[in-house]
Amino acid sequence: MSLSAVCRGLLVASATLFATSAFAQMELKVIAPAAPGGGWDQTARSIQQALVAEKLVRNAQVINIPGAGGTVGLAQFVNSAKGDGNQLMVNGFVMVGAILMNKSPVSIDQLTPIARITEETQVMVVPANSPIKTAQDLAALVKQDVAKVTFAGGSAGGVDHIMAALFVGAVGAEASKVNYIAFSGGGESLAAILGGKVTAGISGYGEYEGQIKAGKLRAIGITAPQRIPGVDVPTFKEQNVDLVITNWRSVMGAPGITAAQKQVLNDLVEKMVKSAAWKDILKQKGWDDAYLSGDGFAKFLKDEQARVLNVLKSVGLAKS
């Protein structure tokens, strides 16, 4: 081996050691811009669990800041965390739509992109005692009177809202007239569904899996392009409803952090997603590994913002 190759190897090893030591003593704050119980909260607490289990940081604290599809938390993060390399904020598809729906004065563009980490299939559920057995049963009610069919889910403009509108449009009703009730936390929407306060509920499959398996909720369709092994729920496509969508989640750094601070967070998240603890969490939650970092993630984020805007416009949820 040449001397230059040895030197390069030593530089890589020392850089890796530096990055590891840089976050080994970190007191990390993980911001979940939503109420406890929902997907972002579960993601934030899963990150906390994996980082602590793998001893990648000294401590990780989850902070919930609910409201307006994450835009309240986003505004607080932008205004108070500038330059702080010891914070990460969980966000994703939902926030992209919420920014447009709420005409938020702050934007994801003000944050520092770190990585997309998960992707999740969506599910539509009804209470176990509902007369609705299939997606076509619900479609018949929607076509009869779209206003009388209520959907519960997460924040306005998010993936749940868009899924409800796409379902209504796919079965031949007017998507812009979807009757959607937004909840800031998964616990609140679950209570509304189980209590029969709404016709159907929408969320990531993992969030309702326990209630589905316990027989408290009936899943009438999932948004995967084909059946998922081990999940006994038909897709919408096999029920002749053209509806395929996935919910992605990511982590972002604070505005104005240095290149060195960003690199530390990049290295920390990369180590986490490759860890045994994280892989176990993905399996438990039913989340797909969708890790994407660097320039690839930055480009994905730009493309996704344009795609979500087009979807919101097409279903009458956004004008520009």
Return mean pLDDT, the chain: 89
Q: Which residues pair with 151 in a beta bridge?
A: 180, 200
- How many Cβ atoms are within 10 Å of 303's Cβ, its own excluded? 10
User: Which tens digit of pLDDT belongs to each residue from 163-190?
Assistant: 999 999 999 999 888 999 988 666 788 9
Residue 15 pLDDT class (50, 70, 90 cuts):
very low
Residue 240 confidence (pLDDT) above 80? yes
Identify the CA nearest to 187 among candidates 31, 32, 42, 73: 42
Residue 113 confidence (pLDDT) above 70? yes
Residue 201 confidence (pLDDT) above 60? yes
Identify the CA nearest to 30 among candidates 117, 145, 103: 117
CATH of span 3-119+248-314: 3.40.190.150
d(CA 218, CA 164): 17
Domain ranges of the chain: 3-119+248-314, 121-246
Please report which residue ranges of 81-199 form alpha helices under DSSP H.
93-101, 135-144, 159-170, 186-194
d(CA 180, CA 156): 8
d(CA 89, CA 221): 31
Residue 2 pLDDT class (50, 70, 90 cuts):
low
Half-sphere CA count of 201, side-chain side, radius 13 A: 32
d(CA 161, CA 267): 34
The pair of structure tokens assigned to 26 is 């970190």
d(CA 235, CA 202): 14
Supply φ then ψ for residue 106, to 5 degrees. -110, 160
Supply φ then ψ for residue 244, to 5 degrees. -135, 125
pTM attached to this predicted model: 0.75
> What is the length of the chain?
320
3-119+248-314 and 121-246: identical CATH topology: yes
- Ranking 40-44, 247-251, 293-297, 315-319 by mean pLDDT, the lowest is 315-319
User: Which tens digit of pLDDT belongs to each residue from 20-78?
Assistant: 556 677 899 999 998 888 788 999 999 999 999 999 999 999 999 988 778 899 999 99
Q: So what's the pLDDT on residue 10?
A: 44
User: Which tens digit of pLDDT belongs to each residue from 261-277?
Assistant: 999 999 999 999 999 99
Residue type, 166: L
CATH of span 121-246: 3.40.190.10
